[in-house]
Structure formats: C-alpha cells, structure tokens
Amino acid sequence: MYLKYYNDKDGKRVYTLQNVGPNGEYCLTAHPARFSPEDKYSKQRIALKKRFNLCIKFEILGRRFMNFDSYTLNVF
C-alpha cells in the first residue's frame, strides 16, 4: 500500500491509502518519481522543457544562470 491523495472541494490535498476517492476518481500517488544519478535522458528532458517552456525554474533563473547548449547548470 502506498500513500495517495485526491483533491477535495476546496482544492486541498487529502491523503489516503485508498485507490479511489469519495468522488469516484482515482487517487494520485503522493510519492516523487524515482531518482537515479545516472540519468540517461536528462539532455532530452531539458531540451523539451526549454522548447515548450515547461519548467518554471528555467524562466525564473533566466538565461544568465542556465547554459542550455552544454546542458549544465552554471550558478554564479
């Protein structure tokens, strides 16, 4: 059994161990995705986020802090 959550009427998360919430919708997992230091697809993921402007952190940091061409994070 894994910890799951659903959103109530006010939009707040309600945590449960059930698979289906009281409104009949499936609950979402409350655990983050598995992390691996040997991330094979990080270059592709960063390129997609840059192309479609999906990552808020990239927009906040701006191009001064991010070097997308070499896929490295340069913090000054």
Which domains are present in the chain? Answer: 1-32 (4.10.80.300), 42-73 (no CATH)
Q: What is the predicted pLDDT for the residue at 75?
A: 46
pLDDT of 12 strictly over 50: yes
Q: What is the predicted pLDDT for the residue at 49?
A: 85
Binned at pLDDT 50, 70 and 90, residue 28 comes out as: very high
pTM: 0.48
- The answer for residues whose C-beta is within 8 angstroms of residue 6's C-beta and 6 or more apart is 13, 14, 16, 21, 22, 23, 25, 27, 28
